[in-house]
Amino acid sequence: MSSVTSTLFLSLSAPLLALYVAFMVYSQYRFNPRWQALEKRLAPLLSLPHLAVALGLVYLFSPGGMVYSAFAGIIGHAAPDWLGLPRKSLLTMILAISIKEVPFFLLIFSALGRQLAIKDWLLQGRALGYSESASWWLLVFPIMLKQSRLALLAAMAYTLSVLDISLLIGPNIPELYAVALYNWQTGFTSADQANAFLGNLLLLIMLATLITGIYLHEWLVVMRLRTNAVMAKPLNIARLSRVFTAWLGFFSLLTVAILVTFLLWSLGWNSQSTLSSINWSPALWQDEWFFMQGPLLNSLHIAFFSSILGVAITLLALELQQQSQRYLPDYIWLLAILLPQLSMVHGWRIAHSDLSASYTTSWIILTHIPFTFAYSYLVLRGPFQSLNRHYELVAASFGYTYWQRWWQIRFMLLRPALLSALAIAFSVSIAQYIPTLIIGAGRITTITTEAVAIASGNEQSITAVYMLVQAILPFIAFLIASVLAQRIRGSFDATHH
Amino acid sequence: MLRIINCHISTDHWRIELPDIFLQSGELLVLTGPSGMGKSTFLHWVLGDTIKHANISGEIHLNDVSLNALSIEKRCIGLLMQDVHLFPHLNVLDNICFALPSSAKDKGGQKLNKNQRKEAAMRLLNKIDMGYVGEHFAEQLSGGERSRVGLIRALANQPKALLMDEPFAALDPQTCAQVSQWAFEQLHTQGVPAIMVSHDINNIPPEAQHLDLAKYYRRIAS
């Protein structure tokens, strides 16, 4: 029972914390020259896998971690353990997920912000005597909160059934619910199978509880803000937002610190080291390269095909909706990221076994596609639907057929957005753990499954090698996407209507 | 009284040297001129907004207090735009309550509670026979209703001056004439000096002052 309550608490609190932080960051950056820098860095920052953030925090801030050791070095003796971040605890999970989800909510706010007259509302608010930060909370937040329901649900559903980081940094007693459920799902006894069935049901009930939580939270907050608006009372927390002007610098620094920490560990650093006593050596990389090649090639192969197919199906879905003028609600398209992954993939595994299907990368690619599709849809829907129709109208007046126009105008104008979608889909696939593990039944290994397997042991140095590779693959994808996007002329105008 | 003196607007290509503006309480100044000549920029400058695409200098005094160093929220100047931007998450009554000063008091000198503030907002609506829209949201109002509610909301804030940027341009000619006539009467009755940007030079009230920016526009030889 305590496993269920702590999981529910984590799944509610971490995404909500991230949402509030993201809103305060957004309010501090949106109408400021810093906004462009943030928009530029948002996608690569978003691509850093959850696992890398989670383990990175542990490598940095837990007792024996880099920052902790540096602090001990400064004060001259070992700092007390309570000062460090626990290696496995609910607090560590909350911190890791809430820090990691902030860029995701910023991406959502950035898209929402383009459709709302925020600047005018703020101006009106200020002309009526409210400060800018009070206007953000009283006038903008209620609307953004309502429109962020799906994003909030996606983050909560992810947290509810995330397995890899629950195993590695989640508490042991009680273990988080995803870990317990996974143990039942993979158990051989009939009692385990019965528990797995009931456990999946309970997971759905927990999801329903979270949905109720989202609505209840929204109702309470909107009521409170409405009362403040009616009473012309600015919020006391409004001033707190100013602290978040430093967020971009902080998050960039944290990202670099995480990557540097993994690099140092992979080159010989350990928790007993001092900078002068380390024997720097690439030996670990040379040794591991032999074992890493297979998982690395699998990761690249699966991510390459699942991202291309995910983006292609997204284009098809958007095109079909446009042609039929029948638009399905977003939650249908985003179902894969709104439902708990653990239950969904368990269902797929049963179907996979019933079909007596093989354990090949093709099946893994198939199971990654719903996720690469959902994220591509999130990224591409806005640019696709807001593309200026006049371009195609002009082409039609020149005698181009529908498909000629589609390919020569629409597709070409969408290229920068398509590149971003491909990079995001690629990084989503690289970070997938549950579908790869469950459908591959351990026979198909990727960088992520290997990283989790090694990190479950005590080999921090080897873990660092795999974490670094897992974190760097999405960065490479974003780098390639950004270099290619810069070579496309007129791209900015086409995607920023 | 609103005083704007020594006002210059300039870009790399042109420059406008405005005559000094003096508006007594309840007086209206209508600002006209071709598009791109800085009319809205001028309004936003008076409001205290950051101006990006032009340089503006001058002194603004409201009731003998210099406004130049004050932020928007401290200036006590209302703003009415073409889209009056009723906040979409608040109904009409709550929009007006949002604008009522937080210090609003009843006859006994007590701060108004939530219900009293709503009643005060309703009284303002009833004064113009629009009590029926109190519970409505912005998207349920017609263009004319929205403009009226926008002005009532702006006046509920008890501004010491009001700026209007083509506030009735989106209305059909008949409604525009009715609503603008009503709005000017409201401003006059409440003694609020106002500046209005307009393209409609045929619809300037006879009692209003008129400033055509084109008369003061000078191109800068490159």
pLDDT for res B42:
93
List the CATH number of the domain containing B197.
Answer: 3.40.50.300
Instruction: Work out the average pLDDT over B38-60.
Output: 90
- Pair (B77, B157) in one structural domain: yes
Q: Locate all alpha helices (DSSP H) within A335-411, ordered by sequence.
A: 335-338, 341-354, 361-385, 390-397, 402-405
Residues near A452 by Cβ (< 8 Å), separated by ≥ 6?
A51, A164, A167, A168, A433
What is the domain partition of chain A in residue ranges? 1-276, 282-497
CA separation, residue B71 to residues A95, A362, B76 (Å): 38, 62, 10
CA distance A338 to chain B (A): 26
Task: Give the span between the Cα atoms of A269 and B152, in whole angstroms.
Answer: 69
pLDDT score recorded for residue A484: 87
Range(s) of the domain holding residue B76: 2-86+141-219
In angstroms, what is the C-alpha Rg of chain B? 18
Q: Is the same domain home to B126 and B72?
A: no
Mean pLDDT along residues B67-89: 87
- CATH class of segment(s) A282-497: mainly alpha
Nearest-angstrom CA–CA distance, B87 and A109: 18
Domain co-membership, B76 together with B183: yes
B154 and B77 share one domain: yes
**Does B115 lie in the same domain as B31?**
no
**Quick check: helix, strand or coil at residue A469?**
helix
Domains A1-276 and A282-497 share a fold: yes
**Do B47 and B151 have their domain in common?**
yes
Q: How many domains does chain B have?
A: 2
If asked whether residues B215 and B205 sit together in one domain, one would say yes
User: Which residue of chain B is at minimal alpha-carbon distance from A147?
Assistant: B89
Both B54 and B151 in one domain: the answer is yes
Nearest to A481 by CA among A415, A430, A432: A415
Q: Which of B74, B88, B159 sits opposite A143 (nearest CB)?
A: B88
| Stretch among A140-144, B23-27, B83-87 having the lowest mean pLDDT | B83-87
Indicate the pairing of strand B55-62 with strand B2-10: antiparallel
* DSSP element (H, E) containing B29: strand B28-32
CATH value of A1-276 in 3.40.190.10, 1.10.3720.10, 3.50.50.60, 2.115.10.20:
1.10.3720.10
3-state secondary structure of B78: strand
Residues B161 and B177 in one domain: yes
Residue of B32 and B173 predicted with greater confidence: B32
Closest residue of chain A to B155, computed from CA coordinates: A128
Q: Which residue did the predictor score with more confidence, B182 or A332?
A: A332
> How far is residue A95's CA from residue A163's CA, in Å, rounded to a whole number?
16
Q: Which residue of A has its CA nearest to B116?
A: A231
Residue with tokens 């799906």: A150
Does any CB of chain A come closer than 8 Å to the CB of residue B22? no
In a shared domain, residues B31 and B79: yes
Residue A59 has a pLDDT of: 87
pLDDT value of position A285: 86
Query: Does residue B150 belong to the interface with chain A, where contact is any CB pair within 8 Å?
Result: no
Instruction: From residue A21, give the alpha-carbon distance in Å to each of A55, A121, A232.
Output: 21, 21, 24
Q: Are residue B16 and residue B41 in the same domain, yes or no?
A: yes
Amino acid identity at A440: G
- Residue B205 backbone phi and psi in degrees, to 5: -60, 140
Residues of chain B contacting residue A131, judged by C-beta atoms under 8 Å apart: 73
In terms of phi and psi (left: phi > 0; alpha: psi -120 to 50; beta: otherwise), the region of B25 is beta
3-state SS of A113-137 is HCCCCHHHHHHHHHHCCCCHHHHHH
Across the range B143-164, mean pLDDT stands at: 90
- In this prediction, residue A172 carries a pLDDT of 85
Query: Residue B62 has which token pair?
Result: 């409201």
Contact residues, chain B, for A227 at CB < 8 Å: 114
ipTM: 0.76
Candidate ranges A129-133, A314-318, B72-76, B177-181; pick with highest mean pLDDT: A314-318
Whether residues B134 and B158 share a domain: the answer is no
Residues of chain A with pLDDT under 70: 238, 271-277, 393, 397-399, 489-497
**Contact yes or no for B102 and A233 at CB 8 A:** yes
Chain A residues bordering chain B (beta-carbon distance below 8 Å): 117, 120-121, 123-124, 126-132, 138-139, 142-143, 146, 222, 226-227, 229-233
Q: How many CA atoms lie within 13 A of B206 on its CB side?
A: 0
